[in-house]
Amino acid sequence: EKIKNLLKREPTITELGGFDVMWSEHCSYKSSRPKLKLFEDAEANYDYVLAGPGEDAGVIDIGDGYVLAFRIESHNHPSAIEPYHGAATGIGGIIRDVLCMGARPIALLDPLRFGRLAGNSHSQWLFKYVVKGIADYGNCTGIPTIGGEVEFDDSFEHNCLVNVACIGLGTIDDFKHAPSRAYNPGDYIILMGGSTGRDGIHGVTFASRTLTEMSEADRPAVQIGDPFTKKMIIEATLEAVKTGFVRGLKDLGGGGLTCATSELTGDGNTGAK
């Protein structure tokens, strides 16, 4: 009914899919938004903070014309049912976020939580392949994992925590060429990346639900990583930013084109078709 009232008509199947994506916890942050608002004045209160809440990654001025970009996020649900690709694509996601600030990703971190290992084959399986997924993706893209920490406790038996972080280094000039907003009517939005497959469909709605014994059936919702393509995208993006022709960047995450284009145009007070 809410959607019908907003549109003032019956929604199409495609529109319902779009609302399903954008209103998911994964994309809308319904639960965490009140806490995130505590930091919304960071850019105004600190001169060295160039990008704060609402951006793809945080950016601070470290002097001499350089900036440091950083991002941390969790990939818990995907890793709980498909630990290798779930963890690997978590790395892929934060690399994109840092890259979209015009910075080169240079380092990864991974604080992890699992159930106890002793006599627990499930936790052993998760631990082994989460670590392997993170390491392999980083190795293939040439970005080292410089640190991490892990704890084991029974409370994480059915819902492991896979937190991954990325740090990037860039210049202030490149950062200024990479806003995550589409301000200029008439500009073209260019999509680049790996080939679209059937993996990852309904990924954000799956990631927003509570894990149950039936969650194993959601395995196809976990995207398959493609780090070799990501490495080429990193180099191509940084080269394109240097030309000065790029007006903005936005990563294509779990919400797909629906999320990326609406965030680009919504923040820029424009539209796209």
Domain map (residue ranges) of the chain: 42-268
Rounded mean pLDDT, 49-63: 89
Q: What mean pLDDT is predicted for residues 4-22? A: 88
Task: Give mean pLDDT, residues 27-49.
Answer: 78
State pTM to two decimals.
0.82
Per-residue pLDDT, averaged over 106-123, amounts to 95
Regarding the domain with residue range 42-268, which homologous superfamily does it belong to in the CATH classification? PurM-like, N-terminal domain (3.30.1330.10)
Average pLDDT value for residue range 201-213? 52
User: Which range is most confident: 13-22, 192-201, 239-248?
Assistant: 239-248
Specify whether 77 is catalytic.
no
**Whole-number percent of the chain with pLDDT over 90:** 47
pLDDT greater than 60 at residue 216: no
pLDDT at position 209: 52
Q: Give the pLDDT confidence score for residue 218 in this predicted structure.
A: 52
Residue among 184, 264, 258 at smallest CA distance from 24: 258
User: What does the pLDDT average to over 112-125?
Assistant: 95
215: pLDDT strictly greater than 50: no
Catalytic residue among 75, 77, 85, 177: 75
Active-site pick, 26, 77, 85, 177? 26
Residue 110, pLDDT score: 96
Q: What is the mean pLDDT of residues 199-224?
A: 54
pLDDT at 101: 93
pLDDT at 42 exceeding the cut of 80: no
How does pLDDT run across 166-186, given as a tens digit for each residue?
Answer: 999 999 999 987 777 888 888
* Per-residue pLDDT at 199: 52
pLDDT bracket for residue 19 (50, 70, 90): confident
Average pLDDT of 74-94?
91
Mean pLDDT taken over the chain: 85
Please tell me the least confidently modeled range out of 84-93, 94-103, 264-273. Answer: 264-273
